[in-house]
């Protein structure tokens, strides 16, 4: 049973899906994403398919009637997909070649284009949960895509802030942030011709890297072939640098933020970017969310990002030295 329940306090929807309790928890049993599992092709490079335990569906169940007139429910219409980065169970974004990552980016773009064709999909969200620390249950390298029938509150807040900044200044707020970070330089950890990776001045995670195009781009589908290659390159450097930071598999949540597909005006004031939420604050310490952060939404960072950015730059330099300046 899956349905959407409206939260009148936050003006947001909660996705309720009891079927997700049956999700597999590796390593018990065979990995469903490995060739030979019957879930995926016998041979594949990158591959996308419908999530077996979706919270959103093109054919949703009828929601239960609310228990009070205060409440609202609606069909959990949408789509949930799995994106497999490789057939190699032990691979990761950080270990894949830039060429292979380019095929991942191309698959993301193809799925984004297909899912945004449905006008009922108000937001298409590409993401990855990596590591037990963030609740990932299957090690096999993969991400997910959710096509929501609503605008989630965080995205809505970002859009409202960006629209206000544009109304006041005539500029894209994300473009201005990129320019400010490039000009300051202290928090920039990697860049190439078309993309820059930095830890924002205001982030609440010690290693909360953002990746952004250097020029205004609303979504993946707006990238040229060369820009996609440079995106794959910087994605490799950032994720490999994370693993090199503490010489261990680095857990993270990765979230891609495109412009909503059916808000054409927003394309002038909102800017595609990728946000990482890594829970580590040191090699063996987790940054847990406190009551203040969870209950009040009051962000707190236990480290100065100018220092953690320097650590990330050094880790990425070690990766580049090891790989001979791969580009």
Distance CA 174, CA 192 (A): 18
| DSSP E strands, the chain | 2-7, 12-17, 47-50, 73-74, 79-84, 123-130, 142-148, 188-191, 195-198, 210-213, 252-257, 273-277, 280-282, 285-286
Task: Show Cβ contacts of residue 57 under 8 Å, excluding neighbours closer than 6 positions.
Answer: 2, 76, 77, 78, 79, 80
- Find the largest Cα–Cα distance for the chain: 64
**What is the 8-class DSSP label of residue 206?**
T
Place of tokens 């079927």: 19
Distance CA 290, CA 326 (A): 40
Distance CA 93, CA 143 (A): 10
- CA angle (296, 131, 210) in 5-degree steps: 60
- CA angle (90, 135, 145) in 5-degree steps: 75
Choosing from 100, 121, 140, 142, the catalytic residue is 142
**If you count them, how many residues does the chain have?**
327
142 is annotated as an active-site residue: yes
What does 304-315 look like in DSSP terms, one character per residue? -HHHHHHHHHHH
Q: 85, exposed or middle or buried, with CB in 10 Å at 0-12, 13-18, 19+?
A: buried
Buried b (16+ CB within 10 A) or exposed e, 145-170: bbbbbbbbeebeebbeebbebbeeee
CB-side exposure of 214: number of CA atoms within 13 Å? 14
Give me the active site residues, please: 142
């Amino acid at each position: 049973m899956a349905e959407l329940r409206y939260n009148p306090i936050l003006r947001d929807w909660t996705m309720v899906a009891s079927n997700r309790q049956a999700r597999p928890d590796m390593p018990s049993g065979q990995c469903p994403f490995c060739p030979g599992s019957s879930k995926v092709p016998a041979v594949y490079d990158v591959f996308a398919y419908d999530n077996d335990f979706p919270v959103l569906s093109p054919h949703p169940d009828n929601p239960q009637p609310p228990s009070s007139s205060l409440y609202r429910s609606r069909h959990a219409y949408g789509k949930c997909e799995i994106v497999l980065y490789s057939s190699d169970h032990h691979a990761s974004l950080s270990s894949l070649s830039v060429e292979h990552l380019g095929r991942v980016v191309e698959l993301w773009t193809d799925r984004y284009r297909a899912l945004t064709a449905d006008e009922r999909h108000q937001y298409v969200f590409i993401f990855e949960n990596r590591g037990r620390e963030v609740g990932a249950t299957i090690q096999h390298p993969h991400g997910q895509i959710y096509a929501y029938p609503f605008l989630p509150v965080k995205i809505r807040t970002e859009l409202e802030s960006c629209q206000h900044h544009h109304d006041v200044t005539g500029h894209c707020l994300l473009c201005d942030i990129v320019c400010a970070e490039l000009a300051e330089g202290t928090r920039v950890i990697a860049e190439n011709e078309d993309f820059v990776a930095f830890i924002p001045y205001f982030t609440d995670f010690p290693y909360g890297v953002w990746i952004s195009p250097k020029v205004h781009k609303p979504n993946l589908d707006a990238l040229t072939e060369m820009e996609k290659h440079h995106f794959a390159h910087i994605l490799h450097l950032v994720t490999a640098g994370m693993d090199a930071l503490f010489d261990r598999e680095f857990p993270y949540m990765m979230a891609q933020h495109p412009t909503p597909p059916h808000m054409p005006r927003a394309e002038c004031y909102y800017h595609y970017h990728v946000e990482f939420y890594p829970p580590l604050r040191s090699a063996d310490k987790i940054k847990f969310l406190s009551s203040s952060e969870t209950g009040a939404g009051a962000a707190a960072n236990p480290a100065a990002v100018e220092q953690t950015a320097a650590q990330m730059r050094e880790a990425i330099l070690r990766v580049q030295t090891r790989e001979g300046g791969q580009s």
